[in-house]
Structure 1
Amino acid sequence: MTSQELVAERADRRAWLGLVLVLGPVALVAMDGSVLYLAMPSITSAITPTTDQALWILDIYGFVVSSLLIAFGNLGDRYGRLKFLLSGAVVFGIGSVGAAFSPNPEILIACRALMGLGGATLLPASLAIISSLFHNPRQRSQAIGIFAATFAAGFAVGPVIGGLLLSRFDWGSVFLINIPVVVLFLAFAPVLLKEVRTSNPGRVDALSVVLSAVGILLAVYAVKTLAAEGFSPTPVVTGLAGVAILVWFVRRQLTLEYPLLDLRLFKDHVFTVAILTGLLSLVAWAAAGYLTGVYLQSVLGYSVLMAAVLVLPGAAVLTVSCVGASGVVERIGMRSALIASHFFMGLGLLLLLLTTTEYGVAAFIASSVITGVGYGFSFSLVADTAVAAVPPERAGSAASLAEMSNELGNALGISLLGSLAAVFFRLTGPGVAGTLDETLDSPGISAGAVAEAKDAFLGGMHLAIGVASLLCLALGVLALRWVPKETGAPQEEAEAVAH
């Protein structure tokens, strides 16, 4: 078959069924990055984690995924993406069962890390296999858009599903829902999907794998420890070591023939802004999702079910925006869509500054709807840009970079901005405990201390959200300067990206 015939070939029913099958694990990986936002008050009451442990429960998953995505994308290129999908699904399922029945914070953190290990194999292999299923450029672009929409929907509905489950079942149920999807995938993947590997993937640099993972974890551990316990020499030294290792990692990539992180991709300004948008959008989304989840339940006093209902409008807008992003690009161009995503996010987040300890539902819903437009554009454009920017044989690596920006942003949003809010609470709160939920659960606490704790939490939330908003707006201004105007019509631009 000639290359022209291959391009013209349209996907058959088996390809579309394969896409549907792959989307199951993709949705799970994304959903497990956010499913605990409304579940943390229940988990805190059940197994009483410390402030530091609570933050690790939330984002150890994201850090393991993000630190290994690039490495596993390269390994999938070399040894076979279907093998990675199947092995990742097994590990993810085992971690889910362990997390559901964890008796203490330490085991829950370990099981969440195991789930992250499985998730890191699933994402890059999934997107690479989807790309191989669809040879027709327009259909491939549609499939990638569906992948991005599914990933976005998983993030968006994670808190909703968590809230609905917690209204009727124990907190472990938010992990057990993964098992049926994993079983179905393992049963049908060998039938519907074909093995895909690269003919000349190059050598995987083991040192780079270690440097990227260790550097990220050390740097984040330092931030979390400083936020939870205050200044001390140990976290400062740990943080500096993490930064030094990450610098070493970046410098090493510039000398390798087959780097884990292909820095040459960042010579393209559109690609660079898209990846930064993917990173920053999840920083803002994760911080806002976690903090507002606590705000709705522990400050305003809503039940977990009602909190889940209040999340629905924003989740729906986010999903629709992600699905419709390709149509928006055809009308206004990639540049305008990228810039719009930043300002939707930045201005929408500012509305959360109107929340108080007594009122805030209207501001929350309005904020989630406006920012949902920006998040949806971001999730869709990052995935499409990354895969379109590289040759097919590097699809796994490019997909890894795109998904790493999302997963790393998800983890950084909680660890950095969540830690910023935690520091503010520790400095201005009543000093009863390290978090709002721990404070409210303390026996014999006075009404005055409760009010002081809620005020301190709200102040920390406003500070973290304000920083997130400023970062989004700043990146929007940077995009105006960095990304050149399209030389052709927006439709021509969209077709060029699709090819």
Structure 2
Amino acid sequence: MTTKKTHKQRERTHAASAGRSDVRSWLGLLVVLGPVLLVSMDGSILFLAMPRVSQALTPTADQALWILDGYGFAVGSLLIAFGNIGDRYGRLRLLTVGAATFGLASTAAAFASTPELLIVCRVLMGVAGATLLPSALAVLSELFPEPRRRARAIGIFAAAFAAGFAVGPVVGGLLLERFWWGSVFLVNLPVIALFLAFAPVLLGEVRAALPGRVDALSVLTSAAGLLFTIYGLKHLAADGIAVLPVGAMAGGAALLIWFAARQRRLVHPLIDFSLFRDRVFTIAIITGLLPLAAWSAAAYLAGIYLQSVLDLDVLHAALLALPGAAVLTVTSVVVPGIVDRVGKRAVLVTGHFAIAAGLLALLATTATGGIGWYIASTAVAGIGYGISFAVVADTAVGAVPAERAGAAGAIAETSNEMGNALGIALLGSLAALVFRLQGPDLAPTLDETLQLPGLGAAVAAEAKAAFVTGLHIVAITTSALHAALGAVALRRLPKGESGGTPEASADPVPTSDHLETKA
């Protein structure tokens, strides 16, 4: 009898301990989601705010683009480096430093008095954001070691990341309805304060036992190569062929090629290119980049279309983005469960074709109307965007041992952030090129043209029509790319590809011999 009682007491004690651990895990996830939401939201919160920022600081067309995409380039250029640093020197430590820096940079950005200062603050926010995303995703491997629960947690993580991108313009519009433009940055501070207060209590420190070192030269060459390449492309689109942009593009491309070759020789590379031997992983990572490029470009250009072409106020424009944001967020939550049933192949193919169809709906917009088509476009494409957010992160983290989760997660998040930045830089430059060729040629952008004194109604209509043509060209281009990638996924991915999280899957979490975990 005594033995039975002791056994029952042990079972109750074990159950209570497991319950406390489960509660700690989900509370830890909730704490992690705060910075994730902010980092993704700050990638899009200026889409509707830029007209107000332009009125206050009067940036040039080039400065306006750097205010928008300097953040994304900083995040995307450094995510892989900071993913490795977090793996090797401590993820919680990096999360804490990054969150504090993000808060300070947000405060400085809110009170920036010149375009140059705002660009610097946005870049600093991007550097801090690059410390947060890969470490936050890697922490989930420690909080949720069981594959199915980890997949569910990553699905929630992806939904928060998607929601941040989706609701960023909405939050920006709502704030600008009542406050000055700097309020879109100050909204970050309460979330950062809560994270700094609770993260040390709920999150444990995890690092690789044999960390190696981060190759500083690889960090510099990857960042410089990306920046030079995009700088050249942007200036070619805005100003035409010239020595400086062509030279910058060539130099940037050479640096990126050298960077890729160097990674294959390093013992501890910033990017483990061997992961790309898996076709599912490779297509999923491309799925992380291309949809974000399309989404960011469409959201940025649509913000200008709604406000400057259709003359809607910022609040009205923000509210019109809500249906698409809701579809995107809900899709991110439900997709992990669908992947378990139908496999990644079907989900990835569906995502690309949904985006292609949604973008084509923008072709029905005109310089005098098209709000309904805009809403339909964001709702249909939102299904594909949500799939992208959900599938990419789970694929990356599930493909590697836990001690490399930060680096693998960084590849996934890099594809998202670089897609966001490239969408504005490249596709935004494509729209600018069309406007320069089709418009009245009085100023480089639509907003600058409409602000010219004494502008006639006919010239204003010509400028608006040229902008809409640029929007249509971008929609056609991105729709074709997604249709092509959907066809590749349909042809190249195995039909029986599973979601990667069934119970039969091997648990990639290593034993304590590989990790150092500090509560």
Give your verdict on TM over 0.5: yes
Which residue in 2 is equivalent to 1:342?
352
Which residue in 1 is equivalent to 2:211?
201
**Closer, same or farther in 2 for the Cα pair 1:207/1:392, shift >3 Å?**
same
1:331 aligns with 2:341: yes
Letter in 1 for 2:257: V
Letter in 1 for 2:153: A
**Aligned partners of 1:224 and 1:216: how far apart in 2?**
12
Q: For the Cα contact (< 8 Å) 1:388–1:498, is it kept in 2?
A: no
SS in 2 for 1:167: helix
Which residue in 1 is equivalent to 2:80?
70
**Aligned partners of 2:506 and 2:112: how far apart in 1?**
45
**Aligned partners of 1:224 and 1:165: how far apart in 2?**
30
* TM-score, length of structure 1 as denominator length: 0.96
Which residue in 2 is equivalent to 1:306?
316
Identity %: 60
Which residue in 2 is equivalent to 1:40?
50
**Aligned partners of 1:278 and 1:149: how far apart in 2?**
14
Using the TM superposition, give the Cα deviation of residue 84 of structure 1 relative to its aligned residue in structure 2, in angstroms. Answer: 0.5
Output one character per residue of 1:292-336: Cα deviation in whole Å (capped at 9) or x when no partner: 111011101111000011000000000000000012212321110
1:181 aligns with 2:222: no
Q: For the Cα contact (< 8 Å) 1:69–1:401, is it kept in 2?
A: yes
Which residue in 1 is equivalent to 2:273?
263
SS in 1 for 2:321: helix
RMSD: 1.6
Using the TM superposition, give the Cα deviation of residue 9 of structure 1 relative to its aligned residue in structure 2, in angstroms. Answer: 6.5
Runs of 4+ in 1 over 4 A off after TM superposition: 8-11, 490-499
1:219 aligns with 2:237: no
Which residue in 2 is equivalent to 1:245?
255
* Structure with larger Rg: 2
1:357 aligns with 2:367: yes
Letter in 2 for 1:23: L
**Aligned partners of 1:80 and 1:191: how far apart in 2?**
15
Q: For the Cα contact (< 8 Å) 2:72–2:126, is it kept in 1?
A: yes
Q: For the Cα contact (< 8 Å) 2:148–2:502, is it kept in 1?
A: no
Q: For the Cα contact (< 8 Å) 2:151–2:501, is it kept in 1?
A: no
Letter in 1 for 2:352: H
Letter in 1 for 2:102: F
Which residue in 2 is equivalent to 1:153?
163
Output one character per residue of 1:353-405: Cα deviation in whole Å (capped at 9) or x when no partner: 11001111111011100000011011000000000000111000001000000
Letter in 1 for 2:394: D
Which residue in 1 is equivalent to 2:471?
461
* TM-score, length of structure 2 as denominator length: 0.92
**Aligned partners of 1:402 and 1:42: how far apart in 2?**
33
Letter in 2 for 1:237: G
**Closer, same or farther in 2 for the Cα pair 1:441/1:179, shift >3 Å?**
same
Letter in 2 for 1:304: V
Q: Which residues of structure 1 form unaligned runs of 5+? A: none
SS in 2 for 1:196: strand
Which residue in 1 is equivalent to 2:486?
476
Using the TM superposition, give the Cα deviation of residue 425 of structure 1 relative to its aligned residue in structure 2, in angstroms. Answer: 0.7
The count of aligned residue pairs is 491
Which residue in 1 is equivalent to 2:131?
121
**Aligned partners of 2:107 and 2:146: how far apart in 1?**
39
Q: For the Cα contact (< 8 Å) 2:398–2:500, is it kept in 1?
A: no
Letter in 1 for 2:319: V
Letter in 1 for 2:242: S
SS in 2 for 1:197: strand
Q: Which moved more, 1:312-321 or 1:187-196?
A: 187-196
**Aligned partners of 1:350 and 1:497: how far apart in 2?**
39
**Aligned match of 1:82 in 92, 95, 102?**
92
Q: For the Cα contact (< 8 Å) 2:306–2:312, is it kept in 1?
A: yes
Letter in 1 for 2:344: M
